[in-house]
Structures are given as C-alpha cells and as structure tokens.
A = this chain, B = another copy of it.
Amino acid sequence: MPLKTYLQAINEALAQEMERDPDVFIMGEDVGPFGGCFGVTKGLYERFGEKRVKDTPITESAIIGAATGAAAAGLRPVCEIMFVDFIGVALDQLFNQAAKMRYMFGGKAKIPMVLRTPQGAGIGAAAQHSQSLEAWFAHVPGLKVAMPATPYDAKGLLISAIRDDNPVVFLEHKLLYGVEGDVPDEIYTVPFGRAAIHRFGDDVTIVATAKMVHTALEAAEILARDGISAEVVDPRTLVPLDSETIIRSVQKTHALVVVHEAVKHAGFGAEIAAQVAEAAFDYLDGPIMRVAAPFTPVPFSPPLEQAFLPNAGDIVAAVRKIRG
C-alpha cells in the first residue's frame, strides 16, 4: 500500500468524497486558497472551486450554524474549526442545535454534517491552542465522535463520517499530521464503533486514543523486554464506543490501563474505566490505572509542556503498579 501522511489521508478523503457526492462541501477559516492553517485542505479550492471550498469570516457560531442549517436542508457540509480550543464561542450551535434537532423534532430531521478540528499539545502553542476536549463531545447525545490515530483510520473514518446522517465531531491530532502510514488510494470506510487492536497481548490491556496510541505502542515495546505482553486497543470512535472489544480484551488480560492526552479529571478515560469496573470487574486482577495529563492548562515552555504530556514511561509505570 502507498505510504501517506495522516494529513494527506484526510485531504484525500475530502477530495474523494467531494468527487463522489456533489452535496459535500467544505467551510471554514482559511480553508480555501490558503489550504487551511495546517494545510489539510490544500489543493481542494483549486480543484473544486469557491462554491465548494468556502472561506468564512472568523465567526465559529455562524460556521457551525451554517453547516447545521445546510445539513437540515439536505447538503453534507464538512466544516473546520481551526483549533478545537475555539469551540467555546460556538458550542451552542453544535450541542443544543445540531446534536439535538433530530430528537427534539421527534426524529423528523437529519443533520449529516462533519465538524473537523485538530486537538493536542506538543508544538508550544500554549493553553488556548493545545487542548484535547473529546470528553465534552462524548457527553452530548446526538453527536458521534471520531478520533483517528493512524493515516489509514483518518481516511476511512472521515469517509464514514461524511456519509453518516448524524453530526460527527472528527478530532484530528495536530502532531499526527506528519505521521506516515499505509493508505489505499481507493475509497474505503472504517466503520464507527469498531475498535482497532494495534498489538495483541495477554498480560495487560492498554486502551489509548489518538497520539497516545503511538505512545502506548512504545510502552508495549518496553514492557515486552521485561516479558510483559501488552494488548493495545484504540477505540477509534468514542461515540459509538466499542465497549465489547475493550471488555473482551480485559477478560483476557485481567488488567487495564487507560491512556489519553486530555487532563485526567473527568476525562474520557474515566468512562472506559467505569464501564470495565462494572462489566468486567470479576476478571480484573488489580486496580484500573489511568495515564493522562495533570489538572492544569497546557503550559507554553517546552520543559513544562513535556511534563504535561503523558509518555511511555508513565504507562510502563502504571502497568508495573497494577502487577504490584
């Protein structure tokens, strides 16, 4: 399979779906000729024109609302919020309008829209440009939430998201944009609600999302050297969540560590831990550990930012702790 970056995979998914379906279009700040702040939409304006690749003013509520209204009217907008951190000026249009319309209207509306936005720390962008807020979106009935960790999943999940008849929050990790992986040229979908097992193991289950999947795989390598065999599971979508795969893995390994980059307190890892503590309690040999960011805003200076980010050592330590 051809090697492509995570960014190229997303760009390709957008291009191929726009090619396939004239109702799909893109909206966002600087997504046009500029190609997007991170370059994700590069070339699409030239290829599909101003009508289908729309630069917007700096007006996130109006962007999400325009996507919601256009979707209610039958189009399939893919809108971009330049950084997930900006969602606070526009969350109402997403969580009270797009997410709830179908239910409030008694099932009589469809809102097939995608909101693409990058998350994550690691580039010194500080507290308002580095957050991971998936836990907020996952708490909103009516939204689906995707969080790809690999170029392959990025393309396949985005195509599924665009074809989904519900509002989907598609969370990209800005530090993964440059990561390469095998990505087929042809169109394919990765179904929502199906976790990926990136590494099989028997001694501990490590559930991780986005960039932390790679960190978990590093940790698994280290653990392997000490003869501890870790299974690394990536849910890929938080809503719907493939609880079954996670639970089956824990039933096999009898140990669970949950890893994410967002702050630990009230983070999504708590949901995974809580589900396992209910559904697989009898299979657990020891405490469920969570490895996540401390309860602080994301700091600017590299040594602080590195201290903020969970790393492979933290995961290894957590695994060792369970195994006493």
Contact = CB atoms under 8 A, between A and B. Distances in A.
Interface of A: 61, 85-96, 99-100, 103-104, 126-128, 133, 135-136, 138-139, 141-142, 238-239, 241, 258, 262-263, 265-271, 273-274, 276-279, 281-282, 284, 286-290, 295-297, 299
A153 B140 CA distance: 29
A141 B295 CA distance: 5
Nearest to A88: B92
Given A135-B266, A270-B271, A286 B296 contact: no
A284 B126 CA distance: 40
A103 B277 CA distance: 34
A266 B145 CA distance: 12
A186 B295 CA distance: 35
A267 B275 CA distance: 12
A266 B139 contact: yes
A240 to B, nearest CB: 10
Interface centre among A133, A138, A262, A288 (most CB of B within 10 A): A288
Given A88-B93, A278-B289, 16 more contacts: A88-B96, A89-B91, A99-B297, A133-B139, A135-B266, A238-B266, A239-B265, A241-B265, A267-B271, A270-B271, A273-B273, A273-B274, A273-B277, A278-B288, A278-B290, A279-B287
